[in-house]
């Protein structure tokens, strides 16, 4: 089996958008790509069958923090890793757990060694270090695993941001060292992606991007954005990072975002995205469609028997009506959560597939400019 490869096919002439193909031991991923988030080993309310047949997901995420606590490493290892455990046989990316641990706010303490935190489930104390987070992700068995980083809040003052970035860099070196001294557990290759930090300071971001680029990883990530900063600031720092990170490696912008955020970041040179938005917002009655945004709780959909979205290629989005989905959501039926989640994810996957086709056809920028307006329309 072989390390992750990235075949860059085309770069747009009017923007920095790229189309490529990532190859992993669990199959290929056509970029740009959106990765559904499977927090606790499941994309919430969606079956693995639906992820393939309805959503066309090519890769999904697992969250190290959640999986470490439940079902725990013993079970995941006995199962033969997350792919075997949940029956998802395409690529998986796991985060490092850092982001979740820092979100615990008062229940965690950052030290040079790592982070001590309390479980949100039973209050038990745990320590995450760069080394044991590599071990944990080895056991979970993601095809792509992430370095243990600190994601500073927005805004952070310069001193905090600088110290945090330097800690992230030291942790990265420990991650790489430990990763290189350990081996793949299940017969396929795991790949470590480092993460650019540096908050919203140009010199820190620049320094961090160069530092990450120097590690010559098979792919690189941009963290610490989409954490509350204005959208224009996010775009500014994504652009800065993309211009420094190596062209021949995939670039992953973590935790982004709305459909229009994704299109704008594709234009800046990002290849990979993940976000809980399609599933979380779906469960709260917000639908993203090819024609704009729908609040399906709104009374205007009560008698609208047209299908959810005939503009995309998802069978379920072309099967169930807006009126039926509204009824299910009002009646708090589980099926409503499933249909809304499947639809929103299918829409995200449809969107990046269209973006890729437009890049390959050389028509991305004009299409993107039109879509960014259309997708934000409130229907």
**224 labeled part of a ligand binding site:** yes
Span interacting with a copy of itself, options 69-77, 104-112, 229-237, 270-278, rule CB under 8 A: 69-77
Q: Which of 320, 347, 348, 364 binds a copy of itself (CB under 8 A)?
A: 320
Residue 234 contacts a copy of itself per CB under 8 A? no
Rounded Cα distance between 181 and 92, Å, is: 22
Q: Which of 59, 254, 339, 351 binds a copy of itself (CB under 8 A)?
A: 339
Rounded Cα distance between 254 and 5, Å, is: 20
Apex CA 19: angle with CA 18 and CA 20, to 5°? 120
Residue 123 contacts a copy of itself per CB under 8 A? no
Which position has the token pair 């001193």? 159
The tokens describing 132, both together, are 């044991």
Please give the distance of CA 325 from its chain centroid, rounded to a whole number.
27
- Residue 243 φ then ψ, to 5°: -70, -20
Rounded Cα distance between 344 and 279, Å, is: 7
**Of residues 350-379, which lie at the interface with a copy of itself (CB under 8 A)?**
none
* Dihedral of alpha carbons 235, 239, 240, 242, sign: positive
Residue 44 contacts a copy of itself per CB under 8 A? yes
Catalytic residue (choose from 95, 143, 304, 309): 95
**97 labeled part of a ligand binding site:** yes
Residues 215 and 186 sit within 8 Å (Cβ to Cβ): no
Could you confirm whether 143 is annotated as catalytic?
Answer: no
Could you confirm whether 95 is annotated as catalytic?
Answer: yes
Residue 107 contacts a copy of itself per CB under 8 A? no
Residue 42 contacts a copy of itself per CB under 8 A? yes
Catalytic residue (choose from 12, 143, 271, 274): 274
Q: Which of 22, 29, 35, 46 binds a copy of itself (CB under 8 A)?
A: 46
Span interacting with a copy of itself, options 16-24, 140-148, 152-160, 318-326, rule CB under 8 A: 318-326
Rounded Cα distance between 314 and 291, Å, is: 15
CB atoms within 10 A of CB 249: 21
**210 labeled part of a ligand binding site:** no
Residues 270 and 239 sit within 8 Å (Cβ to Cβ): no
Q: Which of 34, 65, 85, 193 binds a copy of itself (CB under 8 A)?
A: 85
Binding mask 274-313 for a copy of itself (x = CB under 8 A): ----------------------------xx-x--------
Residue closer to a copy of itself by CB (options 34, 85) is: 85
Report how far apart, in Å, the C-alpha atoms of 355 and of each of 30, 166, 179 are. Answer: 11, 36, 34
Residues 48 and 87 sit within 8 Å (Cβ to Cβ): yes
- Looking at the annotation, which residues are catalytic? 95, 274
Write out the residues near a copy of itself by the rule CB under 8 A. 40-49, 70-71, 75, 78-79, 84-87, 302-303, 305, 315-316, 319-321, 323-324, 327-328, 330-331, 333-335, 337-339
């Amino acid at each position: 089996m072989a390390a992750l490869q990235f075949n860059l096919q085309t770069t747009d002439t009017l923007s920095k958008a790229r189309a490529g193909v990532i190859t992993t031991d669990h199959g290929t991923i056509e970029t740009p790509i959106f990765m559904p988030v499977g927090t606790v080993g499941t994309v919430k309310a969606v079956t693995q069958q639906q992820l393939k047949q309805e959503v066309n997901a090519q890769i999904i995420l697992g969250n190290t923090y959640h999986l470490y606590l439940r079902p725990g490493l013993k079970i995941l290892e006995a199962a033969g890793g997350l792919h075997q455990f949940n029956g998802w046989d395409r690529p998986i990316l796991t985060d490092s757990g850092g982001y979740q641990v820092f979100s615990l706010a008062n229940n965690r303490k950052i030290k040079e060694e790592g982070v001590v935190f309390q479980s949100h489930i039973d209050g038990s104390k745990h320590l995450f270090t760069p080394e044991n987070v590599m071990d944990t992700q080895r056991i979970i068995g993601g095809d792509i695993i992430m370095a243990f980083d600190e994601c500073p809040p927005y805004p952070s003052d310069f001193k905090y941001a600088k110290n945090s970035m330097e800690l992230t860099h030291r942790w990265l070196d420990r991650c790489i060292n430990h990763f290189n001294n350990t081996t793949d557990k299940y017969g396929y290759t795991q790949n470590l992606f480092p993460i650019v930090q540096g908050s919203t300071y140009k010199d820190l971001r620049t320094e961090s991007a160069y530092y990450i680029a120097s590690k010559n990883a098979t792919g690189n990530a941009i963290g610490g954005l989409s954490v509350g900063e204005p959208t224009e600031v996010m775009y500014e720092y994504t652009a800065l990072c993309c211009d420094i990170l190596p062209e021949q490696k995939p670039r992953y912008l973590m935790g982004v975002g709305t459909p229009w955020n994704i299109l704008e970041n594709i234009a800046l040179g990002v290849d990979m995205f993940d976000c809980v938005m399609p599933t979380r917002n779906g469960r709260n009655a917000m639908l993203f469609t090819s024609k704009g945004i729908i609040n399906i709780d709104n009374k205007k959909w009560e008698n609208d028997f047209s299908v959810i979205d005939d503009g995309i290629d998802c069978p379920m989005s072309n099967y169930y009506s807006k009126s039926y989905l509204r009824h299910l959501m009002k009646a708090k039926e589980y099926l409503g959560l499933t249909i809304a989640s499947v639809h929103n994810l299918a829409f995200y996957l449809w969107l990046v597939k269209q973006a890729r086709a437009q890049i390959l056809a050389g028509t991305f920028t004009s299409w993107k400019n039109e879509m960014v307006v259309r997708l934000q329309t409130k229907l």
